[in-house]
Amino acid sequence: MKKKLILAAFAMMAYAANASAQTAPILANGDMEIWTTGKQLPKQWSTFYTIEKEGLFSPSAEAHSGKSAIQISFTPQKEFDNRRFFTTAFNLEAGKHQVKLFLKGSGDIRFIALHKKDTNAAGKNSSTNIAGAPAVGKVNNKEWKEYVLDFDIIDADSYQLTICFNAADKLLIDDVAVNKLK
């Protein structure tokens, strides 16, 4: 009986250790599943007020996984005309990281960048941006396609992820994840 109790205790400790090892995702709501009724972007994602008024973003039921994705439609009116949206801040440790996301539809991704909280993702060559490599560029996907970008974070800090695009024709984005590489 005593051996069974000891074995049961060890089994419970092993289960608890395994359960605590499963961590929450670094990026909140990267799966685009949590929306507020009437909002163009899912919770934990934002854009500038003037861009939000343009009505470029909408929820889509045509998701890579789950029930929702972001749909973007934007036609530039002049050269260098682009739009962006970004996440709420999240903490990153120094080291190598990857951003993975799924895209479907057509568009032109100007850059995907990590930048410190409260700094502006001013451009793909801005000193405040850590641009992902390789660049995504033009996409025209009839099916969902995964993109993986590498980032080298020098300073542990609070960061935001910004996705900037030059054009989008019913471009869908889903399952955005940030992972620290070992």
Q: Which whole number is the average pLDDT over 161-165? A: 93
Question: If you search the block for the tokens 């590498």, which residue do you land on?
Answer: 150
What does pTM read for this prediction?
0.83
The CATH code of the domain that includes 78 is: 2.60.120.260
Strand, coil or helix: 12: helix
Decide if pLDDT at 22 tops 80. Answer: no
Contact call for residues 92 and 178 (beta carbons, < 8 A): yes
32 versus 121: the higher-pLDDT residue is 32
What are the C-alpha distances in Å from 91 to residues 71, 111, 120, 153, 156? 27, 21, 17, 11, 7
For residues 149 and 83, what is the distance between their CA atoms, to the nearest angstrom?
A: 20
Residue 157 within a domain: yes
Residue 12 within a domain: no
Q: How confident is the model at residue 2 (pLDDT cuts 50, 70, 90)?
A: low
For residues 83 and 129, what is the distance between their CA atoms, to the nearest angstrom?
A: 16
Decide if pLDDT at 14 tops 80. Answer: no
Residue 137 within a domain: yes
Which tokens belong to 32?
């685009």
- Domain region containing 176: 27-180
